[in-house]
A and B are shown apart, each in its own frame.
Chain A
Amino acid sequence: MQDYQTQQPTVLKILDAHREMPGNLLPILHGIQDTLGYIPPDAVPDIAKALNLSKAEVHGVVSFYHYFRVTPPGKHTIRICRAESCQSMNSKTLETHAKQTLNIDFHETSADGMFSLEPVYCLGNCACSPAITIDNEVFGRVSPEKFDQLLATFKGTE
């Protein structure tokens, strides 16, 4: 894990850029996660101080939202939809296959640091279920075979 000292200037810059924005906590957290890949727990005191909130309040917001993470992600993040539409098209089989292939559970990162696996509840691709995303790309009608091909592709782009 990176040393917070090297990350702090980035965090402070993001805090400064959002100083005047009403309701700025979520945009700040997005800014940090977009830049650093996650929200370092050590950043919480800095955020709290800048927004005149308690550390507990900031931590409460970070932990409330599924999207925010407090550990560094793998190189690529795979999100598998678990909602009803995808279930009706066998997403459970796909989920099991993904976990076995990557040898991890949801919210974990593969041993080689390549892939993080997260559940997601609806990508709005319900007419072509089951759906997944890898980073910001959406894929529809994903069978276990197609999943393996995608893994190979994303590994290949190294």
Chain B
Amino acid sequence: MTRLFISRDSTALSLGAELVAQTLQRHTAGQNIEIIRNGSRGLFWLEPLIEVETDAGRVAYGPVQPEDVASLLASGLLEGNQHPLYLGDIEALPYFKNQNRLTFARVGITDPVSLDDYLAHDGYRGLKNALALQPADIVKQVTESGLRGRGGAAFPTGIKWNTVLNAPAEQKYIVCNADEGDSGTFSDRMIMEGDPFVLIEGMTIAGLAVGATQGYIYLRIEYPHAKIALNQAIAAAYENGYLGENIQGSGKTFHLEVRSGAGAYVCGEETSLLESLEGKRGLVRFKPPLPAIVGLFGKPTIVNNVISLASIPVILDKGGEYYKNFGLGRSRGTLPIQLAGNIKHGGLFEAAFGVTLRELLYDYGGGSASGRPIRAVQVGGPLGAYMPESQFDTPLDYEAFAAIGAVLGHGGIVVHDDTTSLADMARYAMEFCVEESCGKCTPCRIGSTRGVEVIDRILDNVDKAKNTELLRDLCDTMTCGSLCAMGGMTPYPVLSALNHFPEDFGLQATKA
């Protein structure tokens, strides 16, 4: 039996992986082969990718179109022979070799919904260890790892868990925020499609750690393939005693369910998400009280994002100390970085903190897709700053980014070449806030509407100096007066565009 791997990841599918799989199936009918639909290795310019298992290891070919299948088979695909699309061992390519894959260790390798495959690749070892520990000791491991929330705010995960652990209540909840719709980020989607068990295991461990028996994954409606994979994996986990009552004979209980969002960006904000899960409009809540104390249905709740929770199994498997040894300064462990937009080699790159933007953009990303100079990159989603070339040597580290008025956020990097007008992008940032504001607080709801108007006046040369001053003042009000990051951070892209690219607004460069 020869095993072949073709991805079921959305991006691979978006480039035709399904048709390639079907074509291959048709051409090999009657032969002793098995096609496994795995996750993606994250080297998206090579998708659709075919890997074949040979005695010498896996051999890759890509990007493969359906019309290539016949010639691939004729030249000995099943034996791993040479062909113009031959790539050899994908793990030997610098883009893959130089990563530190902790959270994404299995993605692209295993069948995402096969529990046997998960177990064969070190899956559920973290849970096994956690079942032997007291709740406080699980929390201690997480605290020691130095893990900070990978959703953007970078709050220490151990502290959050400890708060929930110490909050007395007869019911507690684990909520996974799988609704982060930042443009340029797809690591959540990739882990849910490519290794859903790792998220399920992370949430189960979280439940044991704080005494929560019910979990919810609040999933973006824009990710239909992730929903399918999650539900298949959850069903397998229930059938085999990894979810439900008496997990692996331990007497512990944890139930898990996927809930769909409905296309509201603000529901990626944790309190807005909780409102939505309760069946209401996603209006942001005042804090305090924190969700850790008064969360879902008024009960103590851990709200963590996908990558934070998916990082838990490796921490409980190998220890907090092991995880902590990756990284830089107060940014410990690894970050799944996403190279997106106008980039030649877009994809997922998991690395320890400390790698620089320039290395990512040029050494791994290969420069822009258009071949034109890279002018600006926006890091950390639509509320992140636009960074000019002069800042490309900044290491990926929460504090280093904060020091220059930028945010690392979720590790999404969107590349723009020199044809992009940063004034247009600043206007769009305000427009996006108009569209997506929950409307509860005035600075965000009204400020963004006025922001679009003020930028339009600047671009129309109406009282330019006065309106630029007004725009800065408005941004200040939004930053200081908004209830949540939606209004509070929209000024990041706007002001960074204005400060670093004033010429796009028809202004003289005044200050950096």
A residues whose Cβ falls under 8 Å from a Cβ of B: 22-27, 29-30, 51, 57, 60-61, 64-68, 83-89, 120-129, 131, 133, 136-141
**Bound Cα distance from A83 to B340, whole angstroms:** 12
Q: Would you call A127 and B183 a contact (CB within 8 A)?
A: no
Q: Would you call B184 and A131 a contact (CB within 8 A)?
A: no
**Bound Cα distance from A121 to B416, whole angstroms:** 18
Tell me which of B44, B189, B281, B347 has the highest count of chain A C-beta atoms within 10 A of its own C-beta.
B281
A84, A89, A140: the one within 8 Å of B428 (CB): A84
Contacts of A120 in B (CB 8 A): 222, 263
| Residue B448 is within 8 A (CB to CB) of chain A in the complex | no
Given contacts A23-B259, A83-B184, A126-B346, 19 further A-B contacts (CB under 8 A): A23-B277, A24-B279, A26-B260, A26-B279, A67-B263, A83-B183, A85-B340, A87-B428, A89-B369, A122-B181, A122-B183, A124-B189, A125-B186, A126-B184, A126-B340, A126-B412, A137-B13, A138-B11, A138-B225
The residue on B at minimum CB distance from A83 is: B183
CB contacts under 8 Å to A, within B274-319, are: 276-282, 297
Distance between B431 CB and nearest chain A CB, rounded to angstroms: 10
Contacts of A68 in B (CB 8 A): 262
Q: Would you call B15 and A140 a contact (CB within 8 A)?
A: yes
B265, B276, B279, B347: the one within 8 Å of A127 (CB): B347
- How many residues of B are in contact with the other chain, CB < 8 A? 60
B residues whose Cβ falls under 8 Å from a Cβ of A: 10-11, 13-15, 44-45, 181-186, 188-189, 220-225, 259-265, 276-282, 297, 338-343, 346-348, 369, 378, 382, 412, 414-417, 420, 425, 428, 432, 435-436, 438
For chain B, what secondary structure do more than half of its interface residues adopt (helix, strand, loop), or is it mixed?
mixed
Contact A124/B259 with A23-B278, A84-B183 known, Cβ cut-off 8 Å: no
Q: Would you call B183 and A23 a contact (CB within 8 A)?
A: no
How many A-B contacts are there with CB distance less than 8 Å?
147
**Can you report 20 A-B residue pairs in the complex whose CB atoms are below 8 A from each other?**
A24-B279, A25-B280, A26-B276, A27-B260, A61-B280, A64-B282, A65-B262, A67-B262, A86-B183, A88-B415, A89-B341, A89-B342, A121-B432, A124-B222, A125-B10, A125-B14, A126-B186, A126-B340, A126-B346, A128-B14
Distance between A105 CB and nearest chain B CB, rounded to angstroms: 15
Q: Would you call B14 and A131 a contact (CB within 8 A)?
A: yes
Contacts of B14 in A (CB 8 A): 125, 128, 131, 138-140
Contacts of B347 in A (CB 8 A): 127
Distance between A18 CB and nearest chain B CB, rounded to angstroms: 10
Contacts of B281 in A (CB 8 A): 60-61, 64
Q: Would you call B425 and A128 a contact (CB within 8 A)?
A: no
Distance between B272 CB and nearest chain A CB, rounded to angstroms: 10
Contacts of B181 in A (CB 8 A): 121-122
The residue on B at minimum CB distance from A29 is: B262
**Bound Cα distance from A88 to B416, whole angstroms:** 5
Lowest 8 CB-CB distances: which A-B pairs, in order? A127-B346, A25-B279, A83-B183, A126-B340, A65-B262, A67-B263, A140-B14, A66-B263
Contacts of B277 in A (CB 8 A): 23, 26
**Bound Cα distance from A89 to B368, whole angstroms:** 10
The residue on A at minimum CB distance from B262 is: A65
The residue on A at minimum CB distance from B183 is: A83
Q: Would you call A84 and B44 a contact (CB within 8 A)?
A: no
**Bound Cα distance from A65 to B221, whole angstroms:** 11
Contacts of B339 in A (CB 8 A): 127
Q: Would you call A26 and B262 a contact (CB within 8 A)?
A: yes
Q: Would you call A121 and B265 a contact (CB within 8 A)?
A: yes
Contacts of A129 in B (CB 8 A): 340-341
**Bound Cα distance from A25 to B189, whole angstroms:** 25
**Bound Cα distance from A140 to B10, whole angstroms:** 9
Contacts of B378 in A (CB 8 A): 84
**Bound Cα distance from A42 to B48, whole angstroms:** 46
Q: Would you call B420 and A128 a contact (CB within 8 A)?
A: no
Q: Would you call A88 and B263 a contact (CB within 8 A)?
A: no
